[in-house]
Amino acid sequence: MTILLSTLNARYTHASLGLRYLLANMGPLQEQTKIQEFVIGAKTTDLVERILAHAPRIVGFGVYIWNVEETTRLVAMLKRVAPHLTIILGGPEVSHETGEQEIVKLADYVVTGWGDVTFPKLCREILDGPKPIMKVHAGVQPPMEDIALPYSLYSEEDIAHRTLYVEASRGCPFKCEFCLSSLDKTAWPFPLDTFLAEMETMYQKGARLFKFVDRTFNLNVKTSLRIMQFFLDKIEAAPNDPVYAHFELVPDHLPEALKETIAKFPAGALQFEIGIQSFNPEVQGLVSRRQNNEKAAENIRWLTQHSTAHLHVDLIAGLPGEDVASFARGFDHLVSLGAEEIQFGILKRLRGTPIIRHTQEFDMVYDPYPPYTVLATNKIDFATMQRLVRFARYWDLVANSGRFANTIPVLLGETPFDNFMAFSDWIYAHTDATHRIALDRLAKLVAQWLQVRGMDAGEAAALLASDYAGKVDAPARPVKQPADAPKAVAPARQVRHLAA
């Protein structure tokens, strides 16, 4: 084995699509190349030992915002104990602003952007000469039909235990300045027949959970319909062998043909991730986000009322020009639309994104360390931003988790943002913690808060009892399933929302 492809995933269940693309496109070097994935949080010396056990000549690392600090330590140690190793970096974190990064200084080479063609070419030059002089190599974007698809490289263990990431296209035509995809000129589709043939092979090997990473899945409706029909055909042919598919939707583009197809999916088979980010037109204009807010809200409402799709809708706090009152209005509006999950995120200044142009005008202050979260703006001071960070964490624990389905409407009342912010401030004052709060303790805290707000102790206990069965993995409202009911393949959180 000559070349090792590696990365530190956020968790074991994540399987690196990027590494598998590289391996699939290594050509004659594929037989000399191997993938070895790790998980963040591991001891650096253990990772070094496991890498060197393969005695590679070249190690390529996929570098992302969540793993760059640990990967930097890993590269530094490798270069100390095995200076003969050639280390190549790639991935979004090192594709921009490379000159100021410690990890880039430590490594031998960097491939920015697309690596499918450029990484194998660089490896051949390192191994066979002439050795490249330049450190940074801009990735060449080949025709989509020339890229070998990686899905045969998902192993039986991957299929059985991990999320399988797939993409029918790359890129994005939109220019939202907080997103790296804003640098793309358009979206580029893979040949659809070839892609669906790969999905068929994965299905026949046992794959049942597919997570599409396309930024604009529903942009080309004809393509969307064919892909969704692929999954519908599997469900109709084997209703007791469920399939689960996750797609990212453009919120204001849901034509009737797509609605008709979505409505055919049974419960537990479909999840949509929908980026709203802000309902404030002025803020949207500042960050170059084109969105018909009225149409987006109408489509979300339709999905909640006329489909069984699980909805995961995104909002971002800390965007330039948006204060807490504006964000609160957007949050309350989104709550009223009925999505199962609202992903409340805090703005991050990803390397290379145009959001940096607003830094001076709006006094945007960012954490200098990953994930480069905004700490304050001229509309939101640091202390208030910290309250929003805690709000987001508690919201995920209580509302998004699906464990308090009956309690959440009571807790939120008529002014969801204000009421949950009050709860967030109170729970932090009583716990001084946002992580490692056991579920039984969390349930007691929620009941205690309801009493602080005037609810009778018995009534609060009864309300929590209707949600919480005393077990960490229990659904919010357990339902008895028939003995011959199909086994759920959806993630546990979505199953809890379904049960509720």
pLDDT tens for 14-46 read: 999 999 999 999 999 999 999 999 999 999 999
Q: What is the dihedral of CA 81, 84, 90, 93, to 10 degrees?
A: 40
- The domains found in the chain, sorted by start residue, are 3-144 (3.40.50.280), 150-469 (3.80.30.20)
- The answer to whether the beta carbons of residues 387 and 429 sit under 8 Å apart is no
477: pLDDT strictly greater than 50: no
For the segment 36-63, the average pLDDT, to the nearest whole number, is 97
- CA end-to-end span of the chain: 51
Residues 6+ apart with CB under 8 A from 75: 61, 87, 89, 103, 106, 107
> Using CA atoms, how far apart are residues 93 and 326, in angstroms rounded to an integer?
31
Q: Are strands 86-90 and 244-249 parallel, antiparallel or unpaired?
A: unpaired
Mean pLDDT of the chain: 93
Residue partners of 155: CB distance under 8 A and separation at least 6: none
* The token pair that represents 11 in the structure block: 């968790």
484 burial class (0-12, 13-18, 19+ CB within 10 angstroms)? exposed
**pLDDT value for 390:** 98
pLDDT bin (cut points 50, 70, 90) of residue 182 is confident
Q: Which amino acid is at 18?
A: G
Q: Residue 70: what pLDDT?
A: 98
Tell me the pLDDT band of 486, cut-offs 50, 70 and 90.
Answer: very low
Give the tens place of pLDDT for each residue, 256-269.
999 999 999 999 99
Phi, psi of 18 (to 5 degrees): -60, -45
In angstroms and rounded to an integer, the radius of gyration of the C-alpha atoms of the chain is: 24
State the virtual CA torsion across 169, 170, 176, 178 in degrees, nearest 10: 130
The arrangement of strands across the sheet holding 244-249 comes to: 164-166, 209-212, 244-249, 270-277, 310-317, 341-346
pLDDT at 491: 75
State the residue for tokens 């929302």: 497
Query: Pick from 394, 305, 413, 280: which is nearest to 342 by CA?
Result: 394
Q: What is the pLDDT of residues 384-423, one digit of tens each?
A: 999 999 999 999 999 999 999 999 999 999 999 999 999 9
pLDDT at 300 > cutoff 60 = yes
Q: Which residues contact 328 (CB under 8 A, 6 or more apart)?
A: 417, 418
pTM comes to 0.92
In SS3 terms, the chain reads as CCEEEEEEECCCCECCHHHHHHHHCCHHHHHHEEEEEEECCCCHHHHHHHHHCCCCCEEEEECCCCCHHHHHHHHHHHHHHCCCCEEEEECHHHCCCHHHCHHHHHCCEEEECCCCCHHHHHHHHHHHCCCCCCCEEECCCCCHHHCCCCHHHCCHHHHHHCEEEECCEEECCCCCCCCHHHHCCCEEECCHHHHHHHHHHHHHCCCCEEEECCCCCCCCHHHHHHHHHHHHHHHHHCCCCCCEEEEEECCCCCCHHHHHHHCCCCCCCEEEEEEEECCCHHHHHHCCCCCCHHHHHHHHHHHHHHCCCEEEEEEEECCCCCCHHHHHHHHHHHHHHCCCEEEEEECECCCCCHHHHHCCCCCCEECCCCCCEEEECCCCCHHHHHHHHHHHHHHHHHHHCCCCCCHHHHHHCCCHHHHHHHHHHHHHHHHCCCCCCCHHHHHHHHHHHHHHCCCCHHHHHHHHHHHCCCCCCCCCCCCCCCCCCCCCCCCHHHHHHHHC
| Cβ neighbours, 10 Å, residue 482 | 6
| Residue 171 reports pLDDT greater than 90 | yes
Peptide bond into 371 cis (omega under 30): yes
Give the type of residue at 126. Answer: I
Which tens digits make up the pLDDT trace of 64-117?
A: 999 999 999 999 999 999 999 999 999 999 999 999 999 999 999 999 999 999
Residues of the chain above pLDDT 90, percent: 89
pLDDT-derived band of residue 488, with 50, 70 and 90 as boundaries? low
Tokens at 338, concatenated: 């009925």
